[in-house]
Structure 1
């Protein structure tokens, strides 16, 4: 019984420290249009919120969005406007209390047809 309880605690602990990555759309045959590191310092006992805005200058549609949490924290990432199939995207990042933000964001667009 003690080993079962210990196994349950370890499983739940590993679940709660999982990072919140955002992977939307198809990035396999898309062209990387923007790659940016977004960082925000921590303030004790406060949640930090940061917004990221991207607009495609040549009006190609976004095919995929990839945001990787480098801190492996419980931060959250949401799309607030635009996204896949649009020419723009607005992202909202919110840290866990007392922690900062550190994301690598990649925006993928449809390939440019040269023919």
Structure 2
């Protein structure tokens, strides 16, 4: 009985947010009713993950410690700088304001 209650609890934690996210996605893609789509689009976070994905990841991290490390590493990578060339002298450069692009040959 306890195992069945635990399974039901986990199902509610994962399935219900997933169903809400699916309905929201279908409404936004269809565009009808327009008043609801405008309201959902205004509340939508730009970028990031939705509630269903967050709940699933946290539940997975609760069961597996390696997932917690992965989530923390993802948060660290969000705040670190990402250099394209990694310290090498630049061979290419694009200046959007001036409308020029520079490409240098090696050697």
TM range (shorter): under 0.3
Greater RCO between the two (CA within 8 Å, min separation 6)?
1
More strand by share: 1
More helix by share: 2
